[in-house]
Amino acid sequence: MASEPASEIDEGLYSRQLYVMGREGQAKMAASNVLIVGLNGLGVEIAKNVILAGVKSVTLWDPTPTTWLDLSAQFYLSESDLGAPRAQASVARLAELNPYVAVAARSGEALSVEFLGEFSTVVMVNAPLETQLEVNDLCHTSNICFVACEVGGVFGSVFCDFGDAHTVTDKNGEPNASCLVAAITQANPALVTVLDDTRHNLESGDCVTLDGAGGMEGTLTGRTFTVKVVDPYSFEIDCDTTAAGPYTTGGYMNQVKVPETMKFKPLRSSLADPGDFLLSDFAKFDHPPLLHAAFQGLHAWKAKHGGALPIPGDEQAALQVLEEAKKAAAQCSALGLGPDAFEGKGADLVKALSQTAAGVLGSMCALLGGVAGQEVLKASSGKFTPINQWFYFDAVECLPSPRPSAEQVTPMGCRYDSQLVVFGREVHARICDLRYFVVGAGAIGCEMVKNFALMGLGCGPEGQVIITDMDTIERSNLSRQFLFRSSDIGRSKAAAASSAALALNPNLNLTTHESRVGPETEGLFGDVFWEGIDGVANALDNIEARLYVDQRCLFYQKPLLESGTLGTKGNTQVVAPFLTENYGATRDPPEKSIPVCTLKNFPNQIEHTLQWARDWFEGGFKQTPEDANKFLNSSTEEFQASLQAQQNTKLDTLRRIRESLVASRPKNFDECIAHARLAFQESFHNSIAQLLHNFPVDQVTSTGQPFWSGSKRPPAPLDFDPADPDHLMYVKSFANLRALNYGLEGEAHWDDEKFKLKLAQVEVPAFKPKDGVKIQTPEEAEAEAKAKEAAGGAAAAPEAGDGLMDVDQQCAEIVAALTAVKQAEFSGGHGFKVTPVEFDKDVDEHMQFVTSCSNLRARNYKIPEADLHRSRLIAGKIIPAIATTTALVAGLVCLELFKVAQGKPLEELKNGFVNLAVPVFAFSEPQPPAKTQARVTGRFAHEAQAGKLVKAGRPVDVSPAAEGAEEGGAVLWNWTAWDKVDVTGDLTLKELVAHFTDEFGLELTMLSHGVSILFSFFQNKKKTKERMPMKLTEVGTPPKKKSKGGGAFCFCLGEVCFLEEWHAPLLAGCTGWHMRACRRHFFPYFLLAPPPLKTKQSWFQKNHNKTR
């Protein structure tokens, strides 16, 4: 159907999603009408994601009465809706998600060509195959995009047919590659090489432009070239440059996205010839063909039984479905499945689908709802590559082994029936009694809490879900954090999520906190708390917090479910005690910083100019007012003392204070305009002219190479032009921010002509270059850094004549002058205040300054500029986000939770990476924890060899030592970061020394806590004798903080050394410290604790060993 023009995009609501879908894609979505046929758990997930994304309308079609089996996954149905049509019962709550989307339920009409013609995309969920075929035939001939998806148990499928000619405007959604060109050959084809510190990130077949290529402009400018990649730093273009002049400098390579057209087969022909399947897991490469036949076999069985699904656990029905699957495979030779494919594991796979198909799980619906929802958005927007054409997913490793009995999987007439028929009553009861800590109640946190409510996690007599989040709800959260509404803006995320979760399942045992999880809240989240939970689900947005929670889980030996998203990309990691490495065991490299000299004088990318503009905002509108207030509110002595802590910047700080309080303090808005105009002159003309005075355009280095080459681009001063929108925007935004600093009334909405009139009255002094100004080059900065590193990190000593006395003298004179002004004009500092402005990326007035400031500097250096939208992304360090990826990631996490709760072995756990844009799915087995061997004797060795030593429900991992049998049976303890030695009771230092000798056959030589050495072999003998009878809590003086709910605390000793000639890394889990290496050996950290706490032991700890 024809789409109507979309209304203006609400950036406040869709701000994070716009960086995923783009403005063009969002506008197309806002003109799209979507029909969803089937409102089970998967249907409502798709509807939720599509509505949050902002299509024009969503119509629901499903007259099916609500049953108990729906309530395990359909979060907008409840017990009161039993018997009511699913679409009609869900429409009101779905309509609350987005005021811009028209949501309606229409179940009376037949699915005719006239009815379908009202929609641009049709989605069918768990519909009979014959109905899917009929509707798809109509959609394909009418050029209506079609998506069909199914879910049953831990199995699911998605099929896409977007017609004979679907246009994809951006196949992957990645930002267009852009980088400086180092060289272009005079050849056919021409070889382009970029700077060696930047990869071009292109693929063969991509298209690029080459702008500003000095010496070759006539041949290259204004043309688009197709790329053939040679290596990460060079590529060929389809251009003959043999007749062009030699390349000099200044060129930029800019990628251009070229639309592509995809052709889809209709469902009827695609069933017989499915083509290549989109793999969900490379380890299950043989599953998609089997599932393609299995789902057809299931449909055939249903058609013979009046549309009913097989009874859960019915072995006879499963065998019949298996036979139907064999027939389907025989009719589809393209699958390449012979009779042997349906033996052994193949047969088990098909039978598992049959026996669990009646159950629809919330976690599977979340996962498939994210996948199918994104396909709907692809159909509506033309953005990203659609699935071509089949996608099958299974999580068969989640199922209990052996399969529960028929009695165990019989529905009980409760809201958890779907979960019961898949996992059985025993696993379900275990899930209900889990106590899980959800850290973060943002987008992933909301999805996680929703899934927990549907699973019944925390609903048992011993179960609980604890949620914490210190943030409050903002409007931009509403497009992906579906538990929140407009009325919740400003409210605590944790509180709002808890209220919404209780509405989904009133039986949920919820505890809510509004605190950050970190060292400062260990009084709240202390030993009693951590010992009392069964696991943690992270929903955090920063690495620091993730690492802290990881260390807590490591120390208390708790499972951790980790996840994150970045636009259409998502990842999950499962951390299981003793089975997998912990989250912090491997880390990404730190983000590369921009050298200061590059920012100040030699930028070459828009990221450089945006950072420079952000720094200017921070220094001019925030830091300077704060410094001025500090001066006004402090005594002269206090202020001078604070200056001593900033020796390198104190003169600059004083000059800025003097300017803000004396030289340039505005009395009215006209003076703010004048100051803005002078700031323009200094920033974009005078400083550039001074730089060119120091380094003329034709300057050469000592080696004869042009100075302005490589990454250094020669700038050009800007002459102020009030007719230029960026020039005027800079002045307007600067003047209004300055007025805000000084409590003056700004004129943000003044007519441009009024500003131009005021600007014409500003006198601008002519520029005069200064001699002797020192400007550091990148090469000098690199040499200085190397010299500093060679000196052990110490700064080089100042040379004679550096003028340190002159700096101190200047500072003293400025302070004296400012003090006099303070007394004379500011009543000693009382009654006057400069208001700092905190940068906020979501405030347009702030971004208007940063964008215009950045683009003007980019214009100085001929760097491609960025609009406000892209500038906000870069300067605000915004993380793109969309509801589809969030839902998918939360679904994957909850599938792993089922495995962890059952104590599944390492080979059945999965870490995942997904990119819905491409699309691609990749799963891998988690890495086991790294092991370190420790050679020990004593009681520990004897008990370990006898198999009597059990830690956290599992035998201690030891092996015989190659030597040492004569020493009483030495063993090698293969310990990991999960291991620790617990010492119960408040021992004396003497008792601790004896404990290690008796228990491990080790002589204690050094013991430390924090930065204090409590005992060492080189310690003063008198002090050692005094400390030996003292309690360790007296010797170590641990922090006096108590856990909430009890006075017990754990005292973690940081470093323990023994007389052995081997090494082992030590991880002190209590504090997350990584101990330094030592010539003597380290031991796993040990914990000094009071008698065992009367807290519930986690099911994982009690049953892990026997369930392996």
C-alpha–C-alpha distance, residues 856 and 872, integer Å? 16
Q: How many angstroms separate the Cα of 292 from the Cα of each of 272, 283, 289, 325, 679? A: 10, 17, 5, 9, 67
Q: For residue 849, give the H/E element and its range.
A: helix 844-860
Give residues with Cβ within 8 angstroms of 1055, minimum separation 6: 1006, 1007, 1008, 1066, 1068, 1075, 1078, 1082
C-alpha–C-alpha distance, residues 610 and 15, integer Å? 19
**Residue closest to 561 by CA, chosen among 429, 457, 456:** 457
The two three-digit tokens of residue 349, written as one number: 């796979």
Residues 834 and 621: beta-carbon distance below 8 Å: no
The two three-digit tokens of residue 936, written as one number: 């020990």
Secondary structure (3-state) at 832? coil
**Residue closest to 94 by CA, chosen among 56, 143, 59, 67:** 59
Q: How many angstroms separate the Cα of 471 from the Cα of each of 258, 494, 495, 513? A: 41, 8, 10, 11
- Three-state SS letters, 963-1006: CCHHHCCCEEEEECCCCCEEEECCCEHHHHHHHHHHHHCCCEEE
The two three-digit tokens of residue 379, written as one number: 């159909």
Residues 930 and 964: beta-carbon distance below 8 Å: no
Query: How is 422-440 classified by DSSP, letter by letter?
Result: HHHHHHHHHHHT-EEEEE-
Cis peptide before 402 (omega within 30 of 0): yes
Residues 566 and 467: beta-carbon distance below 8 Å: no
C-alpha–C-alpha distance, residues 368 and 373, integer Å? 8
Give residues with Cβ within 8 angstroms of 498, minimum separation 6: 449, 467, 510, 512
**Residue closest to 366 by CA, chosen among 59, 72, 63:** 72
Residues 611 and 599: beta-carbon distance below 8 Å: yes
The end-to-end CA distance of the chain, in Å, is: 56
Q: 365 catalytic, yes or no? A: no
**Residue closest to 74 by CA, chosen among 61, 55, 93:** 93
Residues 120 and 34: beta-carbon distance below 8 Å: yes
Burial of 139 (0-12, 13-18, 19+ CB in 10 A): buried
The two three-digit tokens of residue 266, written as one number: 């209709």
Q: Kindly name the residue from 597, 811, 1050, 1070 that is annotated as catalytic.
A: 597
E strands, 690-842, are none
What are residue 981's DSSP bridge partners?
Answer: 1086
Q: Look up residue 1086 and give its DSSP letter.
A: E
The two three-digit tokens of residue 74, written as one number: 């359909």
Secondary structure (3-state) at 761? coil
Burial of 595 (0-12, 13-18, 19+ CB in 10 A): middle
Cis peptide before 798 (omega within 30 of 0): no
Residues 480 and 450: beta-carbon distance below 8 Å: no
Cis peptide before 339 (omega within 30 of 0): no
**Residue position matching structure tokens 């379900």:** 428
Q: Look up residue 519 and give its DSSP letter.
A: G
C-alpha–C-alpha distance, residues 648 and 335, integer Å? 72
Q: Annotated catalytic sites, by residue? A: 597
